[in-house]
Amino acid sequence: MPTFDSVVAGTEQYSAPREVELRNEIRVRVAYRPLSSAEDAEAETFGKSYAKGLGYPGDADLEERGRLAKRVVLSFVDPDNTSAPFFPMGAEAILKDRRIGAERIVYLNELQEHYEDQCVPSRLRLSDGEFHTQLRAIAGADSPDPFVDMRPGLRWIFVRTTARLLVDFLRLSSGSGGTSLSTPSPPSLPQPPPRPAPSTTQPSIRPDETPSPGSGES
């Protein structure tokens, strides 16, 4: 795993090459690097100018779209030649490129930011109080905002922690005769009420109805 010191020293700046999928099942090999604070500011400035150029200055969604595209252009490189940008056409071009699309730009930026969080782990440090506060905020929220607003590295920590707790719970439940981790029990279906059993008793005859001998004969 890269460290902040190794990134600053330039000895381990780029991520390992990986394959990502764009639109129309296009798969490409990429690598990426952390951005400096100056480059982040450059992306912020581009986002504002992008929204203004479209005639919607101050539009938060357009500014964010432009900012993410600029971050991707600045951080993604050719894995076989890290001095060459992977998207040399620039941010405005990839925003218009139908092979990429806005949702893929968000995905690529998430990959880069998660790598950046690994390089600078101080961003992911939370005190016990901060961790519990964030847990309560997510558990009680009516929208995904508290989760989405977290850094990608923190989201990964929260999801992994929750998954491990659930796995431990299911394992304990399985050991005590509860739900199995590997083969969960199917939901039970409502059963129809039981049908009454046929009667095996003979009909009773009252004393005054006891047939006399030959009563049935004419």
For residue range 139-194, list pLDDT tens digits in order. Answer: 888 887 777 776 776 676 667 777 877 888 888 887 655 554 444 444 444 555 56
The reply to whether the predicted model has a pTM over 0.85 is no
Res. 56 pLDDT band, cuts 50 70 90: very high
In the predicted structure, residue 199 carries a pLDDT above the cut 70: no
pLDDT at 104: 95
Report how far residue 60's alpha carbon sits from residue 75's, in angstroms, rounded to the nearest whole number.
Answer: 22
* Buried/exposed 51-63: b ≥16 CB within 10 Å, e otherwise: beeeeeeebeebb
Checking if the pLDDT of 75 tops 50, the result is yes
Res 143: pLDDT:
82
Task: Kindly list the domain boundaries of the chain, sorted by start residue.
Answer: 4-124, 126-175
Q: Which residue has the higher pLDDT, 20 or 179?
A: 20
Phi, psi at 45, each rounded to 5°: -65, -40
* Structure tokens that stand for 182 in this block: 């590997």
CB 87 within 8 A of CB 94: yes
Q: Average pLDDT, stretch 105-118?
A: 91
Percentage of residues in the chain having pLDDT higher than 90: 44
pLDDT at 171: 84
Query: Given this model, what pLDDT does residue 140 score?
Result: 83
pLDDT band, residue 82 (cuts 50/70/90): very high
Mean pLDDT of 125-145: 79
pLDDT digits (tens, 9 = 90+) for 30-50: 999 999 999 999 999 999 999
What is the pLDDT confidence band of residue 132, given thresholds at 50, 70 and 90? confident
Task: Return all residues near 75 (Cβ < 8 A) that are at least 6 apart.
Answer: 32, 33, 34, 35, 39, 112
Three-state DSSP state, 82? strand
